[in-house]
Amino acid sequence: MKEGYDGGAMAESPLGQHLVKMIGNVCFSFFALSVLIFTVIAVTYQPADPWFDSTKALVSRSFSQTLSNSTFQTDTSLLTTAEDQAAAAPSADPTPPPPSATLLAGPNASSALLCDGGEGDLPFNCSHPGVLDAIRRSHAKNFKSLIFISYESPVAGSSPDRCEVAWWFRNRREKSWRRYRDYRWFVLTPGENCTFKVTNVGKYRSGGKAGGQNRRSKVAGGAAPNSSPLLKVADADINDTIPVVRSESEFKKGRYLYYSRGGDYCKGMNHFLWSFLCGLGEAQFLNRTFVMDLSICLSSSTNPNKKDEGKDFRLYFDFEHLKESASIVEEGEFLRDWKKWDQPSSGGKKQRRQSIAVRKVATYKVTPMQLKKDQSTILWRQFPGPEPENYWYRVCEGRAANFVHRPWQAIWKSKRLMNVVSQIAGKMDWNYDAVHVVRGEKAMNKELWPNLDGDTSPDALVDKLTKVIQPRRNLYIATNEPFYHYFDKLRSHFTVHLLDDFKDLWGNQSEWYNETRELSDGRPPEFDEHMRVAVDTEVLYRAKTRVETFNNLTRDCKNGINSC
C-alpha cells in the first residue's frame, strides 16, 4: 500500500508543478501589465487645472469654501460671479494660441497682394496680408494675456506709414467666452519682399477709421465701404430680449415656480444674489421654470436707508447667459399670460375651459422635497410675516440645502459693465498691477479690525507696495475709500489709476450711457456703487500682480478678530 501511494504521488507531482508554474506566469503577467499602465499614466498625467474644470464643479467648490449654508457674504468690497473663479485661480493658462487670421478675399484680393512700391516706398497698401501679419506678431508679443479671435480689414491711417485695424478679443483669465472689440493705429516700416514691422502702436481704441467699419465685416469678408468713425453703437453681441410664451397650449404645458416679493426686496447686492439663486436652485430641483422679476431694488452698503428701486437686473448681470443656463420667464410677461389664458369661457360644463392649476405655498417651511411630485402648473410661494421669516433664502436652509444647490454658474456680470472693464484695462495696455484696499466701515471698527486703519494708511501702503511692485508700473487701486487724494503718496512711485480716472467711460457721451438708457425707460442711468464694485473687481482680477488687503496688507482677519 505504501509503495502504491508513493507511486501515485510521484505521478501527480508534474501536474501540480505545472499548475503552480501557470499561476506564477499569470501573476507575473498581471504585474508587468500593471507596471506598464502605471508608467503610461505617470508619463501622461498632468495636474488638474481649474481652467478645464466644468463651470459647475469649479463654482460649487469655490463658493462652498466661502459661503456658509444659511447666510450670505457681508463683504461689499468685491462682487464675485461665476466667471471670476478662473481669474482667481493662480494657474498657468493652457489656452491654445489664437488661430491664424484668414487672408483677404473678395474684390480687393488682387490689389492686396501688391505693395504699391518698392522697399521703403510710401505710402504702402494697408490691405496687404503682410501688414496684418506684422500686427498679429506685435499682438502676440505685447498682449500675452489676450486671445485674439478675429480681425477686420486694415485701412489706411492718418499718415502714409500708418494703418488702422479693428479686432475681436477676449481675456485669458475670464471664465466666460464673451468677446470684446478694440481698434488702433499702427506705425509700420516696410522691408524686403513686402514684409513689414510694427514700430509704434496707438492707445486703446485710437484707430477711429478702423472703428468705423461695419462690425460684421471681418477679414474674410473684405473691407467695409464705410470708413468713418462708428460712435455710440450698441454692442451687437448683447441679447437682452425677454423670452415669450407664444401660445396657450405652450403655457399650460409648462410648470412654473413663482416667488412673491418678500423681505429680500431693497436689501444689499449679496443678499439679493443669495436669495435669488435659492429660488432659481429650487426651480431647477423641481424641474420648473422660474418666474423672475427683472425690476430689482438694492440698498446702499454705506447707507442702508437709501433704496434704489426700479433697477433693471440686466444693468448688473448677463441676462442672455442666464437664459441659456436656466429655464426662466419674466414676471410681467408671465402674469399677462396667466391672466389671458386663465379665463374660463361661458356656457355649460362641457364648454368651460379648465383653469390653470395653482398651488399656493404660504410658508418656507414647506420644503422643496415635499413639492417634488406636485403636478400643479404654478407653484406660488408666498412670503408673509416679519423679517427674517419672509426671506427667500429660508427655503434653502436646513435639510433642503442637501437637495437644492444654488446655480452660481448661471450668474455672469453684465457685458455692458465688462465692456467698461475691457476699456479700463485697454487704456493701461493690459499691463498693470493692482491692489485691493478695503477701508470704509471696517477701518473705523477698531474692535473687529484693530490694525486695518494703520495697515492701509498712505505711509504703510508705500512701504509695502514698493517691496512687491516694480517702480513706475501702472498700479490700479480697487478701493472703497471715498477720498480721491488718499493715495497721492503712491504717485511718486507708481503710475496710479483709480476708477474715477475713467469716469468718461460711463459719462453722458459714452457707449455705456447710451446702451443703458434703454433699460432705464429713457432716464439718465446712474453708474451706482454696485456697478463700481463690479468693475473694480474685474479690473483687479486681470492684473499681472494682485495685492489683497487681508492676505498681504494687514494682520487683521477678513471677518474680524479670531476669524482667520
Handedness of CA 132, 135, 140, 145 (dihedral sign): negative
Contacts of 361 by beta carbon, 8 Å cutoff, 6+ apart? 371, 379, 380, 381, 382
Q: What is the pLDDT of residue 556?
A: 93
Grid coordinates of 552: 498681504
Do 48 and 92 touch, CB atoms closer than 8 A?
no
- DSSP letters along 199-213, please? EEE--TT--HHHHTS
Handedness of CA 109, 113, 116, 120 (dihedral sign): positive
Q: What is the pLDDT of residue 111?
A: 39
- DSSP letters along 519-564, please? GGTTSPP---HHHHHHHHHHHHHT-SSEE-IIIII-SS-TTSTT--
SS3 of residue 77 by DSSP: coil
Residue 116 CB neighbours (<10 A): 15
Grid coordinates of 76: 461689499
SS3 of residue 79 by DSSP: coil
| Residue 189 β-bridge partners | 197
What does DSSP say about strands 256-259 and 289-292: parallel, antiparallel, or unpaired?
parallel
Distance CA(75)–CA(297), nearest Å, equals 19
Sequence-ordered strand ranges (E) for 347-387: 358-361, 378-381
Task: Reply yes or no: is the peptide bond before residue 123 cis, omega within 30 of 0.
Answer: yes
Confidence (pTM): 0.75
The residue among 95, 86, 78, 79 whose CA lies nearest residue 61 is 86
Handedness of CA 73, 77, 80, 85 (dihedral sign): negative
Task: Reply yes or no: is the peptide bond before residue 225 cis, omega within 30 of 0.
Answer: no
Do 279 and 288 touch, CB atoms closer than 8 A?
no
Dihedral (C-alpha) 488, 490, 492, 494: value to the nearest 10 degrees? -130
Could you report the average pLDDT of every consecutive run of 10 residues in the chain (564 residues)? Answer: 45 65 80 77 50 37 41 67 61 39 35 50 81 94 91 91 93 82 92 88 90 49 34 61 85 94 93 96 97 93 79 94 94 93 62 75 96 96 92 96 96 94 93 95 93 96 96 96 95 97 94 88 88 95 95 91 82
Distance CA(52)–CA(96), nearest Å, equals 12
Distance CA(182)–CA(171), nearest Å, equals 13
Give me the phi and psi of 240, to 5 degrees please: -100, 15
Grid coordinates of 474: 501702472
DSSP 295: E
The residue among 517, 524, 482, 516 whose CA lies nearest residue 499 is 482
For the chain, what is the largest distance between any 2 Cα atoms, rounded to a whole number of angstroms? Answer: 117
Distances (CA, A) of 372 to 283, 367, 400, 450: 10, 9, 12, 49
Q: What is the pLDDT of residue 229?
A: 35
Give me the phi and psi of 181, to 5 degrees please: -125, 140
Distance CA(259)–CA(331), nearest Å, equals 10
The residue among 42, 80, 484, 103 whose CA lies nearest residue 277 is 80
Do 224 and 164 touch, CB atoms closer than 8 A?
no
The residue among 317, 272, 260 whose CA lies nearest residue 299 is 272
